[in-house]
Structure 1
């Protein structure tokens, strides 16, 4: 709901850096240099859950956000493990 009411909030207030980066990687979008706004990341996550984002679709629903968030958290965990393995 905050993605709708306060869309310009920094995504890192709610997501770990690996999580919003995973949303960009899985969506095949270039990573921004600065943390993106919350609404942008919510729409990327919802897109991974099946949200099409067409002109008349409105805002993403709970189900598409949840499905996309499951993919993002799994991928983010993989990123963390890969970075830990690389650093050790």
Structure 2
């Protein structure tokens, strides 16, 4: 990958961390595509809401596959947990898209 692409990824993760702290009630659909925030709920075995919820909730759900334990005294999210969780959620979201595409191609 080029250095510019790494900078974009790092910027997005830092932005998610900062907005999750400063604007927790922001609508998650402003920063995530539908498949992305739904994938966060599915990976955490939570009921998927019909429309996007709060940004802080989605960011915390995305950080859980990255190692966040979500205990009361754990404090704020780290860049590392968001980064690792976001990788897994993005892969799963891509899988959701492929499954939807494959479903339309099959004639059973």
1:1-88 mapped onto 2 (5 Å cutoff): 1-88=18-105
Largest Rg, 1 or 2: 2
The unaligned stretches of length 5 or more in structure 2 are 1-17
Cα offset, 1:47, TM superposition? 1.0
Superposed CA RMSD in Å reads 0.8
**By percentage of residues, which structure has more helix?**
2
Q: TM-score, normalised by structure 2?
A: 0.78
The unaligned stretches of length 5 or more in structure 1 are none
Moved over 2 A (4+): none
Q: TM-score, normalised by structure 1?
A: 0.95
Q: Distance in 2 between matches of 1:59 and 1:39?
A: 11
User: Residue by residue, what CA displacement relative to the aligned partner does 1:12-56 show, whole Å, maximum 9, x if unpaired?
Assistant: 111110000000000000001221110000100111111111111
Number of equivalences:
88
